Amino acid sequence: MSTYWCELAMLPGGVRRHVRLRTERGRIVEVVAEEPMEPGDTVLAGLVLPGFANAHSHAFHRALRGRTHADGGNFWTWREAMYRVTEHLDPDAYRALATAVFAEMVLAGYTVVGEFHYLHHRAGGRPYDDPNAMGEALVAAAADAGIRLTLIDTLYIAGGLTGGGHVPLDAVQERFSDGSAAAWAERVGALHPAEGWRVAAAVHSVRAVPRADLSVLAGAAVEHGWPVHAHLSEQPGENLACESFYGCSPTRLLADEGLLTPAASLVHATHLGDDDIALLGSAGACAVLCPTTERDLADGIGPARALADSGARLAVGSDQQAVVDPFEEVRGVEMHERLESLERGRFSPVDLLALGTYEGYRSLGWDDGGILAPHHVADLVAVRTDSVRTAGCSVDQILYAATSADVTDVVVAGEHVVAGGRHRLGDVGRLLAGALGQVRG
């Protein structure tokens, strides 16, 4: 049992002063405002928010930060550099790198991460002795770093899609594939989630998963109760290839195969037509936007307001780790909308907090997270209100000013993982430098 006394806390009804949060077994059991501090309380200064959810991450992409900008290029040239990183990853190196990356996330205020995992096997697609060794490395890394994990295990069958059909896997992509959707389902079904982590299923994209395999994944997800994620319409070329070969948009293809449901999360959703937006909205699906990645890779600006107006939910992710900062991601949703619409206030501060916390938790299968209220998981983040960035801000608008540098304390499952700006693992920068040194050759 732990009790946290918060100078200020963002509760479902708004900001309250002097809030005592009592936790037991990793959950909030009592929330009382206007309470005096008591002996034994852990004091959290500043404003305490629900923990942020990183609904889309590729941990190993962190190796590319600040190393791909010299020659311009686009998503496809960036992808070649990303593929080269995979050559240096085995379960030990993957665990070390993911531990450091996940620790960076916790320092920034993320308390749960959805790791979109497709680096399954050895070179050539040869399984490890434990076929889930790479996934288990991520599970161990999350436990070491003190962050909740949804392991989004990804189906990857084909090397791409053209107007003439799917193309074979290349030499790098063979590591990503189980060979068939049935083999993928068997391997993922052997995972045994425990306290602190869960499993979701993913279609890498309609480029990498032929139509006939989509229903296999859909059936496995229903059988096991897994949420379903998929990269969707990140690039115009994906739409063109899908229209040419299947005669429909990627969104329509997923819908026709039973994958658009309230349990579905569609990542990026950048280049959508009006019919696509309506399909996502009518399904009550979630669009996971990744603003810092989308701007870094020059992918485009997704139709966030139109999606929300259609009935779709929104969440955010750090994706390729060009930036690890939940404030920048949620703020990016609004700022991108302003650039598109030439209007301010496309999303309210309450909307932005919800898509950064509660909706992200829902996307990852944690319906009991993202709110500071009894019966919810005890995941919370304390943010300075007196830094050079936040001094003078209205506390209910702090998302427009704060950055990850303003996070002082992070509690996950009632455990004080970051205290006074220091992670329990120590110097995370040093951890990152050591892990990155192993995977850069």
What is the set of active-site residues? 268, 319
β-strand partners of 166: 161
List CB contacts of 39: < 8 A, sequence separation 6 or more.
Answer: none
Tell me how far apart the alpha carbons of residues 421 and 423 are, in angstroms, rounded to a whole number.
7
4 touches 408 (CB < 8 A): no
Q: Is 259 exposed, middle or buried (0-12, 13-18, 19+ CB in 10 A)?
A: buried
Percent helix, strand, coil in the chain, to 5, is 40, 25, 35
Amino acid symbol at 389 = R
383 touches 76 (CB < 8 A): no
Q: Using H for helix, E for strand and C for coil, what is the string for 86-113?
A: HCCCCHHHHHHHHHHHHHHHHHHCEEEE
280 touches 251 (CB < 8 A): yes
Q: What angle, rounded to 10 degrees, do the helices at 211-224 and 181-189 form?
A: 20
Tell me how far apart the alpha carbons of residues 88 and 277 are, in angstroms, rounded to a whole number.
39
Tell me how far apart the alpha carbons of residues 196 and 26 are, in angstroms, rounded to a whole number.
10
| Measured CA angle at 402 (ends 421, 106), to 5 deg | 40
- Buried b or exposed e, range 325-354, using 16+ CB within 10 angstroms: bbbbbbbbbbbbbeeeeeeeebbebebbbb
Tell me how far apart the alpha carbons of residues 207 and 80 are, in angstroms, rounded to a whole number.
16
- CA gyration radius for the chain? 21
